[in-house]
Amino acid sequence: MHPNSAFRPRQDDLAELLVREIGFAAIFANTPDGPRVAHAPVVLGDDRTTLQFHLARGNALTRHLGGANALAVVQGPDAYVSASWYADADQVPTWNYVAIEMEGVTRKLDDSELVAQLDTLSAAHEARIGTNPPWTREKMNPAQFSKMTGAIVGFEMRIAAWRPTIKLSQNKSADERDRVIAGVEVTGHGAIAQLMRHLGGDRKDA
């Protein structure tokens, strides 16, 4: 989390929207074997107090997560920012990025909760890609589906803390931000440019 308060989103629902839109997180926890990280699709609860995910049963983190305090990090687009894009010569390069940290204690899901999580995930993402008809587990042989779900373990984090960083040059003037937007767009980072335009109201001179 960046210490500059300028990079805390002013829109209360922005971090939640980004977690739902990106839908993928790195899950960190300490284990007896040292710190471990896993990567997984995530489902944010409707009340934004829970985050569900699942891991392969053989993942090195899986056997340590139940009851553990964990950190989930959802990372959005990022881009290098050249100091040459500023009018003031006394500047240094930096990096614009989006990162949302969520911390909390995790619990293992039972079989029915895991299946519900998988149904929610597939329904959300099938709707995005517009498959008609969408894929559902009803298309699978139930025995095969049960065998495959037996190879994964579901978890739910009770979110105790949100720590979002939306670092998009909010501490710069409107003219400087416009130059950075043009620069990152030219260098192929259109997603960062679009977010910077969307957050134009968070400028320090706004």
Unique residue bearing structure tokens 């993402």: 125
pLDDT for the residue numbered 145: 96
In single-letter form, the type of residue at position 162 comes to W
Q: Over the stretch 75-95, which tens digit does the pLDDT of each residue have?
A: 999 999 999 999 988 999 999
User: Does the residue 119 lie in any domain?
Assistant: yes
Going by their DSSP bridges, the two strands 152-167 and 50-56 should be labelled as: antiparallel
User: Does the residue 14 lie in any domain?
Assistant: yes
- To the nearest 10°, report the CA torsion of 48, 54, 59, 60: 30
- Whether the CA torsion 98, 102, 108, 113 is positive or negative: it is negative
List the CATH number of the domain containing 42.
2.30.110.10
User: Does the residue 178 lie in any domain?
Assistant: no
What is the pTM (predicted TM-score) of this model? Answer: 0.91
User: Does the residue 189 lie in any domain?
Assistant: no
Phi, psi for 60 (deg, rounded to 5):
-60, -20
User: Does the residue 193 lie in any domain?
Assistant: no
Lowest mean pLDDT, pick from 75-84, 136-145, 191-200:
191-200
3-state SS class at 160: strand
Domain count, the chain: 1
Q: Give CA–CA dist 174/172, Å, rounded.
A: 7
Average pLDDT over residues 176-188: 96
pLDDT for the residue numbered 206: 40
Range of the domain at 151: 5-171
